[in-house]
Amino acid sequence: MSHRWERARRSGRAVASLLAAGLLLASCTGPAAEPKTTAPAAASTPSGPLKVSVITHGTAGDAFWNVVKNGAEQAGKDLGVQVEYTSDGDPGAQAKLIDNAVAQQTGGLVVSMANPEALRPSIEAAVRAGIPVITINSGEDKSAAYGALTHVGQNESIAGQEAGKKFKDLGKHKLLCVIHEAGNVGQAQRCDGAKTGFAGTVQTLQVDISNPTDAESRIRGAVQTDSSIDAVLTLNSQVAARAVSAIKSVNAKAQVATFDLNSDVVAAIKAGDVLFAVDQQQYEQGYLPVQFLKLYRDNANVVGGGKPVLTGPDLVDKSTVDKVGQYVQRGTR
């Protein structure tokens, strides 16, 4: 008899713990699932609110992609478009996110193609499903072939050339180009571009962006072992900060320039630690595609005349850093 009570109590406890788990699951909807204005999704009809899915290859928490996200979300606010931003650095996972957006019958797709071939089947499936696609940031040369309307980004070779040329004009002779994302073709193109624009020798160095300590010590090692390096080009603002402190710690003569801006880079330009920054104005890469997709839906407009829409490079140095710095502060440059 007591036996059975014991059992009942036990199964009661199991049920309670299950319920608690259920509640725990349900309660995490708090911050994330803040009920947005969920108008009935009418993506395919050109009357309701347009829904645009922005799917990038940025890792969560990357400062650069945060600006792209801000741009896309601001465009959504300004134009009354429902913007959903997701990202995954793994090309396979990014392809699955694109499939996901297609399954949801999104009204428009904005995709960054760091690894175009991996995304090709998914993007072509989206195009077949009648979803307009705009590619951003990387994958310019494959954009039209996959059926995208246009590409919004910076031509990496041109940007690299500009940076190399600027270094040449400043009288540098040996350049170290720091690559931080294995597998990103765009970064290789930047360094190759820098080679073209720069008259002297160019070496590349591979570091890991997700491990700042490692990045710093590798750069330190490189400038220590070769004291003739007088210029370092980093391809990301976080790596730039690491390069500056690496060079300072060993009193090397090398001077840093970088792609992309953040408040550290702005401060470093003001202080003279960084010579200049190659800004690709990625805010536009978030903002413009949303606008283009809305124009396309409401007025069948296309932009660019079959050529990519370039958002950069815009070289920021001591002369322009004060104004641009304010915008960096608020996460829009």
Q: Which residues bind another protein (CB under 8 A)?
A: 7, 10-11, 13-14, 17-18, 21-22, 24-26, 28-29, 31-33, 36, 41, 60, 84-87, 90-93, 95-97, 99-105, 115, 117-121, 125, 181-185, 188, 206
| Shortest CB 210 distance to another protein, Å | 9
What gap in Å lies between CA 194 and CA 119, rounded to an integer?
A: 28
- Based on CB atoms, which residue is closest to another protein, 17 or 326? 17
- Based on CB atoms, which residue is closest to another protein, 101 or 215? 101
| Shortest CB 321 distance to another protein, Å | 29
| Shortest CB 87 distance to another protein, Å | 6
Taken as a whole, the chain contains a residue count of 333
Strands of the chain, DSSP E: 51-56, 82-87, 108-112, 133-136, 150-153, 174-179, 201-206, 231-234, 255-259, 274-279, 309-310, 314-316
| Shortest CB 14 distance to another protein, Å | 6
Q: Are 181 and 209 in contact (CB under 8 A)?
A: yes
Buried-exposed string 96-120: b where 16+ CB fall within 10 A, e elsewhere: ebbeebbeeebbbbbbbbbbbebbb
- Based on CB atoms, which residue is closest to another protein, 17 or 319? 17
What are the tokens at 64?
């650069």
| Shortest CB 171 distance to another protein, Å | 30
3-state SS, residue 176: strand
- Based on CB atoms, which residue is closest to another protein, 93 or 250? 93
| Shortest CB 65 distance to another protein, Å | 10
- Based on CB atoms, which residue is closest to another protein, 118 or 144? 118
Q: Which residues contact 286 (CB under 8 A, 6 or more apart)?
A: 54, 67, 68, 69, 70, 71, 72, 73, 74, 75, 110, 136
- Based on CB atoms, which residue is closest to another protein, 50 or 97? 97
3-state SS, residue 99: helix
